[in-house]
């Protein structure tokens, strides 16, 4: 199964880099393509961490990724699924035989969500079929993790254990609530990309400094 992230942010923030790094670890580098990077992008613009993990990237849009990666299966109409928080139907285990590709917006979570994923449906209207992963906004790595559990793990959405809007407490006075849904691990803790907790802590200290 192939996963595509249509990159829709400016450059690579630390947050995006940590998310993409975790997605490569979860899927294996050969199963992920990062598409639609700005046309002037060079290998040196890709964060070192992602290069070391073997990120496959292209400036080509979704519809032309095979020009860069000819070994990939054809992108057939109706066999490419866009994970879209505004889609009508939820992704199901039976969808594993209906799609060859799963596409995600490389968009940072925002609160309230701005529905930028819809731009992808507008950009590729004939190609994509939209499916939802429940009614809460997930981070891109969580959306991919959930898709992998449903499609490759054959675990129905209702059986996956999630936590909504977890609070991460760093000290008595310092806590940050994240406005997203996360998958829980076997110990009942939200699964975050490696290094993300430190980044959340750093960001919360920074915003505290800005206030004081």
Ligand X SMILES: C[S@@+](CC[C@H](N)C(=O)[O-])C[C@H]1O[C@@H](n2cnc3c(N)ncnc32)[C@H](O)[C@@H]1O
Interface ranges with ligand X (CB under 6 A): 83-85, 104-105, 107, 109-110, 113-117, 132-134, 136-140, 143
- As measured in angstroms, the least distance from the Cβ of 106 to ligand X is 7
Whole-number minimum distance, CB 43 to ligand X, in Å?
25
Quick one: CA dihedral 57, 65, 109, 182, positive or negative?
negative
Residue 170 CB, nearest approach to ligand X (Å): 23
Give the separation between CA 146 and CA 133, rounded to whole angstroms.
8
CB 126 within 8 A of CB 103: no
Whichever of 47 and 85 has its CB closer to ligand X, that residue is 85
- CB under 8 Å to 169, separation ≥6 — which residues? 175
- Helices 14-27 and 196-211 cross at an angle (nearest 10°) of 170
Partnered with residue 4 across adjacent β-strands are 33, 103
Q: CB of residue 70 vs ligand X: minimum separation in angstroms?
A: 26
CB 122 within 8 A of CB 23: no
Cβ-based nearer residue to ligand X, 51 or 116: 116
Shortest-Cβ-distance residue relative to ligand X: 105
Closest by CA position to 16, among listed 204, 212, 148, 195:
195
Nearer to ligand X, 33 or 133 (CB): 133
Closest distance between ligand X and the C-beta of residue 209, in Å? 26
**Nearer CB in complex with ligand X: 42/157:** 157
CB 82, CB 133: distance < 8 Å: no
Comparing CB distances to ligand X, the nearer of 4 and 50 is: 4
Q: Is 27 helix (H, G, I), strand (E, B) or coil?
A: helix
Residue 70 or 112: the one with the smaller Cβ distance to ligand X is: 112
State the minimum distance, in angstroms, from the CB of residue 82 to ligand X.
7
């Amino acid at each position: 199964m192939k996963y595509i992230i249509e990159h829709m942010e400016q450059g690579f923030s630390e947050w995006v880099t940590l998310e993409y790094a975790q997605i490569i670890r979860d899927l294996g580098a050969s199963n992920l393509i990062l598409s639609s990077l700005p046309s002037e992008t060079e290998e040196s613009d890709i964060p070192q961490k992602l290069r070391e993990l073997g990120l496959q990237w292209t400036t080509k849009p979704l519809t032309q990724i095979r020009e860069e990666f000819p070994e990939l299966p054809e992108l057939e109409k109706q066999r490419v699924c866009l994970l879209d928080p505004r889609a009508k139907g939820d992704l199901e285990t039976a969808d594993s035989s209906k799609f060859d590709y799963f596409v995600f917006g490389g968009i940072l979570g925002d609160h309230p969500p701005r529905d930028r994923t819809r731009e992808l449906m507008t950009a590729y209207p004939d190609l994509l079929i939209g499916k939802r992963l429940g009614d809460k906004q997930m981070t891109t790595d969580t959306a991919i993790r959930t898709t992998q559990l449903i499609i490759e793990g054959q675990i129905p959405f209702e059986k996956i254990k999630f936590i909504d809007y977890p609070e991460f407490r760093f000290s008595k006075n310092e806590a940050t609530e994240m406005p997203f849904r996360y998958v829980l691990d076997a110990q009942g803790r939200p699964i975050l990309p490696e290094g993300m907790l430190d980044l959340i802590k750093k960001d919360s200290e920074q915003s505290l400094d800005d206030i004081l």
